[in-house]
Every structure is written in structure tokens, then in C-alpha cells.
């Protein structure tokens, strides 16, 4: 869901790949109460009501975006059909399992760029005058210190601080948009609605079916964004985002891609999705399916619901310090979190584990014959590295560089992983 005014579409020059894919022949743009057409041959604007007359076509196709339409979009499988032509194997729910290039896509995240369709993830729009205070009280992040155009990770927890999911939040002009894992979207939507009191001016809407969601992953992500004349986003803090319009359809582009501060996220309307996807691929992004994405999630160390985020583990054992505020006052799970910090009650921590061979998730982790933890996720395919896992290990039993035994004899080495390694406990924060 998008709100407010949108920045002009400065990345559409007539010579750009995206412009060629979106502006073939004569393209009509529609703005509120205004309509004009563009003729690439004459390089001039013509307004039907003569509101203004820019004389020459420039690199800046200035247009205000229409309000986002809440009604369901027309049934249109163009995007999925395009992906099938590219070799996509599509699962139920239009989830792209693989393009048959998992190893290539994983390699691209290390030295190039991959693009992933995560439209099966949840998108929740929280609006109303009390939205900031409401989310401030219902999750772990401090929303009151954030401003329009910023973003953050926040964790939804039970009253005893057990983890439900990490959500990524974008602070927009008239709403806050949350991106959640596909497994928890319904639960979180229902939970938020349940906690709206009679006097609260808050509305909760699931906009997953009215939007598409892509992410760019890899060191060349910046080059693609710069190629689209969006270089002002490069180097901005994680979660920073701006709104644009493509043929009158809204596009939000944000820094970061859920599992990494490197890369970008794109929230687009279904009407624009095919053109935007094609432009990203034309610029060199390697399509990645959900199989490879899951491999990357584990290698990066991003916890997932039903695996690392369950009723068995609390938010601090999951090491999600960057998403937790310790001084914002009362919120769900706050008392338990405060006690854990005050009395040093964190008894285990999530780590990456390099494995000598594959082993089943749920296997025990042992040191000197004593069980000290549990394996929660394991990579299952791909030849880019040896099997890799995530698991909770009891504090002081093992830490980075130590050797552990998984199951009946698989040797594991405890390692730090990028996502968890960026989390800074209070003593480490500036």
C-alpha cells in the first residue's frame, strides 16, 4: 500500500532499458485530473487541458503517482508466464521454486547480482492516526524515533518474548508497510487486529495480493540502481526508501533486501511487475528461485519462522539485538526481555555451523558427549559450498571457532554469519 506524493520518475530516460520496456511507441501517462501523452519522436508533452506546456522532452519524465488502488487487480499471469519462459518451475501459490540455475544464482550473490521474486511473502499496511504508537506497543522496535522515508526490522513476539517473526517496516507518509514471512502473515494480521481497542484509530490491511515484491542481492546491486538513475539511494541507511511512478503505477524502492543491508527491495503494483522484472534481468540480474533463496538465507544467518523463530526460543537467544529497543517503555514481551538483560538470563545463542556432511534439522548438538544445543536449519542443495547449518548452542559450551558434534557424529565448526554478526548487543552499540 502506498500513500502520499511520489517522486518524479527520474530514472526513465528515453535511452534506458527500463524506458524502452515501459514506453514503446506512444505512452499515455495519467495523473489526477490531468492527462497527457508522450511522443518519443517529437520529444514533447501535450496536455489535454493545457495546464502546462514543457516544450522539450528531458531526462526527467515528471509525473505524480495515482493513489494506490485497493481493489483486486485483474487476473493476469503475464509475470509468471514470463518467468516460465525463462525456465522457472512454479509451485502452488505462484512460488518460483527454481530456474534450474541455483548454483549460478548463488554465485551471483557473491560477485554479481541476483533478483528474487518474493511476492509470496506477506505485506501488511498499518494506517490510521495511532499507527505509530500501536506498532510501537505491539513489536520490539522503537517506532517513535523513526521518520517518513526510514525503515527498520522489528520482531513480533509472544508475551513471554518467544519469537513469532521478524518483520521489515517502511515508514510512509500515511501508513507503515510491514513485510513478513509467508508463514506468519495471516497470524500477524489477525494478531494485530485483535489488539486494536475501540478507541484506537488504526486500520490493518493485508495488501499481499495487491502488490508484488522483488529483491536484488549481491555486490552489483548498486550498479543496477545507478543504471536506472537511482544512485541517490546508494549508500543510504538500511530501510531507507523512496516512491516512484512507472506509467502511473507506484513503485517503492528501499535499501536492503531482508537478509542483507546490501542490495535493494522493490514493492510494485501487479500492472508494473512484468516490466520492472524484465528491466532488472536486462541489466544483468540473475533470476533466483526459492530453493536458492533458502540456501542463501541459511548461509547469511537470517532466522526463519518454524525453524529458528519458534515458541522454543526467545528474541535475544535469536540474537536479534538490532530490532529490539531496551528503553522505549512498555510493549508486548518487554518485561521478559528486560529481565533477560538485567539478570543475564540469555542461556543460548544462534550460530552458523559449517558441517562435514549433511544432517537432518532437529539433530542435537553435543560437546564432550553432552547435549548443548539443537540444529534448526541445513542447506540441502547446491555445489557452491559444503553443507551449512544454523543452530542454538548453550552459552559457554561453544563459541566461534569451536568444534561440535551434530547428531551421531557429523563434525561441525561454529562460525559467525553475516546477518547475526551485524546484531549489536547494548554493550557494543555506540
Band (pLDDT 50/70/90 cuts) for residue 138 is very high
As a whole number of angstroms, the distance between CA 52 and CA 367 comes to 74
Q: Give Cα 255 to chain centroid, integer Å.
A: 9
If one compares 3 and 287, the residue with the highest pLDDT of the two is 287
Q: Please tell me which of 30-34, 53-57, 96-100 the model is most confident about, judged by mean pLDDT.
A: 96-100
As a whole number of angstroms, the distance between CA 307 and CA 318 comes to 11
Query: Grid coordinates in use for 291?
Result: 530453493
If one compares 365 and 70, the residue with the highest pLDDT of the two is 365
- pLDDT of residue 4 exceeding 90: no
Going through 138-229 in order, the beta strands assigned E by DSSP cover: 151-157, 163-171, 175-180, 203-206, 212-217
If one compares 427 and 256, the residue with the highest pLDDT of the two is 256
Find the length of the chain.
Answer: 430
Which pLDDT does position 58 carry in this prediction?
31
Band (pLDDT 50/70/90 cuts) for residue 16 is very low
As a whole number of angstroms, the distance between CA 30 and CA 38 comes to 11
Three-state secondary structure call for residue 105: helix
418 exposure class (CB count in 10 Å sphere: 0-12, 13-18, 19+): middle
> Does 220 fall in a domain?
yes
- Among 10-19, 116-125, 385-394, 402-411, whose mean pLDDT is lowest? 10-19
> Does 140 fall in a domain?
yes
If one compares 241 and 17, the residue with the highest pLDDT of the two is 241
Can you state the angle between helices 78-85 and 270-282, rounded to 10 degrees? 30
Band (pLDDT 50/70/90 cuts) for residue 302 is very high
115-125 average pLDDT score? 97
- From the list 369, 313, 21, 348, the residue with the least C-alpha distance to 161 is 313
Share of the chain above pLDDT 70, in %: 80
- Among 72-81, 155-164, 301-310, 324-333, whose mean pLDDT is lowest? 72-81
Residue 411 sits in a domain whose CATH number is 2.40.30.110
Report pTM. Answer: 0.81
- pLDDT of residue 47 exceeding 80: no
pLDDT digits (tens, 9 = 90+) for 352-406: 999 999 999 999 999 999 999 999 999 975 454 589 999 999 999 999 999 999 9
Asked whether residue 393 falls in the same domain as residue 261, the answer is: no
114-138 average pLDDT score? 97
- Final residue belonging to a domain, choices 277, 297, 317: 297
Asked whether residue 265 falls in the same domain as residue 150, the answer is: yes
Query: Grid coordinates in use for 279?
Result: 528491466
- Final residue belonging to a domain, choices 297, 324, 359: 297
> Does 305 fall in a domain?
no
Three-state secondary structure call for residue 89: strand
Asked whether residue 174 falls in the same domain as residue 84, the answer is: yes
Asked whether residue 86 falls in the same domain as residue 197, the answer is: yes
Asked whether residue 289 falls in the same domain as residue 352, the answer is: no
- pLDDT of residue 70 exceeding 70: no
Band (pLDDT 50/70/90 cuts) for residue 227 is confident
Band (pLDDT 50/70/90 cuts) for residue 64 is very low
- What is the tally of structural domains in the chain? 2
- Segments in 157-283 forming alpha helices (H): 185-194, 221-227, 270-282
Residue 281: half-sphere exposure toward Cβ, Cα within 13 Å: 17
* E strand or H helix at 82: helix 78-85
If one compares 429 and 103, the residue with the highest pLDDT of the two is 103
Asked whether residue 261 falls in the same domain as residue 354, the answer is: no
Q: Please say whether the beta carbons of 150 and 143 come within 8 A.
A: no
Q: Residues of 200-218 as b/e, b for ≥16 C-beta within 10 angstroms? A: eebebbbbbebbbbbbbbb
Q: Residues of 38-55 as b/e, b for ≥16 C-beta within 10 angstroms? A: beeeeeebeeeeeeeeee
Residue 258 sits in a domain whose CATH number is 3.30.1360.120
Which pLDDT does position 236 carry in this prediction?
95
- Final residue belonging to a domain, choices 297, 332, 364: 297
> Does 410 fall in a domain?
yes
Asked whether residue 118 falls in the same domain as residue 256, the answer is: yes
Asked whether residue 178 falls in the same domain as residue 281, the answer is: yes
As a whole number of angstroms, the distance between CA 394 and CA 407 comes to 16
Residue 202, domain extent: 78-297
> Does 47 fall in a domain?
no
- From the list 240, 211, 210, the residue with the least C-alpha distance to 225 is 240
* DSSP annotation of 240: -
Asked whether residue 114 falls in the same domain as residue 246, the answer is: yes
> Does 379 fall in a domain?
yes
- From the list 302, 297, 286, 119, the residue with the least C-alpha distance to 218 is 286
- pLDDT of residue 282 exceeding 80: yes
Average of per-residue pLDDT values in the chain: 83
Q: Please say whether the beta carbons of 169 and 152 come within 8 A.
A: yes
Which pLDDT does position 65 carry in this prediction?
37
Q: Is 301 left (phi over 0), alpha (psi -120 to 50) or beta?
A: left
Asked whether residue 160 falls in the same domain as residue 244, the answer is: yes
> Does 321 fall in a domain?
no
> Does 35 fall in a domain?
no
Which pLDDT does position 301 carry in this prediction?
97
Which pLDDT does position 275 carry in this prediction?
87
Asked whether residue 243 falls in the same domain as residue 176, the answer is: yes
CA torsion, ordered 389, 392, 398, 402, to nearest 10 deg: 0
Which pLDDT does position 9 carry in this prediction?
38
110-137 average pLDDT score? 97
Asked whether residue 362 falls in the same domain as residue 271, the answer is: no
Amino acid at each position: 500500500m502506498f500513500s502520499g506524493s511520489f517522486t518524479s520518475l527520474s530514472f526513465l530516460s528515453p535511452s534506458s532499458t527500463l524506458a524502452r520496456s515501459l514506453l514503446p511507441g506512444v505512452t499515455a501517462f495519467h495523473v489526477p485530473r490531468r492527462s497527457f501523452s508522450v511522443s518519443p519522436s517529437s520529444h514533447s508533452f501535450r496536455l489535454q487541458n493545457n495546464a502546462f506546456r514543457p516544450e522539450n522532452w528531458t531526462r526527467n519524465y515528471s509525473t505524480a503517482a495515482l493513489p494506490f488502488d485497493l481493489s483486486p487487480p485483474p487476473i493476469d499471469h503475464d509475470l509468471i508466464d514470463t518467468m516460465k519462459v525463462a525456465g522457472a518451475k512454479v509451485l502452488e501459490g505462484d512460488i518460483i521454486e527454481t530456474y534450474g540455475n541455483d548454483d549460478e544464482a548463488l554465485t551471483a550473490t557473491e560477485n554479481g547480482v541476483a533478483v528474487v521474486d518474493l511476492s509470496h511473502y506477506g505485506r501488511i499496511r498499518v494506517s490510521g492516526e495511532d499507527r505509530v504508537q500501536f506498532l510501537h506497543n505491539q513489536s520490539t522496535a522503537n517506532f517513535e524515533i523513526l521518520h517518513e522515508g526510514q525503515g527498520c526490522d522489528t520482531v513480533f513476539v509472544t508475551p513471554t518474548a518467544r519469537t513469532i517473526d521478524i518483520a521489515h517496516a517502511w515508514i510512509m507518509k500515511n501508513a507503515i508497510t510491514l513485510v513478513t514471512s509467508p508463514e506468519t502473515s495471516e497470524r500477524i494480521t489477525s494478531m494485530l487486529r485483535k489488539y486494536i481497542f475501540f478507541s484506537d484509530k488504526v486500520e490493518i490491511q493485508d495488501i499481499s495480493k495487491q502488490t508484488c515484491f522483488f529483491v536484488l542481492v549481491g555486490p552489483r546491486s548498486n550498479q543496477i540502481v545507478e543504471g536506472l538513475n537511482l544512485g541517490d539511494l546508494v549508500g543510504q541507511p538500511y530501510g531507507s526508501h523512496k516512491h516512484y511512478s512507472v506509467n502511473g503505477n507506484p513503485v517503492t524502492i528501499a535499501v536492503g533486501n531482508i537478509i542483507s543491508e546490501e542490495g535493494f527491495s522493490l514493492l510494485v503494483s501487479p500492472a508494473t511487475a512484468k516490466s520492472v522484472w524484465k528491466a532488472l534481468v536486462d541489466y544483468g540480474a540473475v533470476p533466483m528461485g526459492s530453493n536458492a533463496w533458502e540456501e542463501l538465507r541459511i548461509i547469511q544467518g537470517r532466522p526463519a519462522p518454524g525453524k529458528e523463530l519458534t515458541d522454543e526460543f526467545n528474541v535475544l537467544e535469536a540474537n536479534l539485538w538490532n530490532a529490539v529497543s531496551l528503553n522505549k517503555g512498555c510493549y508486548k514481551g518487554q518485561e521478559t526481555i528486560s529481565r533477560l538483560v538485567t539478570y543475564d538470563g540469555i542461556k543460548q545463542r544462534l550460530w552458523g555451523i559449517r558441517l562435514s556432511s549433511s544432517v537432518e534439522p532437529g539433530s542435537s548438538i553435543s560437546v564432550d558427549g553432552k547435549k548443548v544445543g539443537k540444529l534448526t536449519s541445513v542447506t540441502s542443495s547446491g555445489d557452491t559450498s559444503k553443507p551449512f547449518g544454523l543452530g542454538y548452542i548453550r552459552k559457554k559450551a561453544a563459541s566461534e571457532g569451536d568444534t561440535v558434534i551434530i547428531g551421531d557424529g557429523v563434525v561441525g565448526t561454529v562460525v559467525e554469519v553475516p546477518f547475526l554478526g551485524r546484531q549489536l548487543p547494548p554493550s557494543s552499540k555506540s
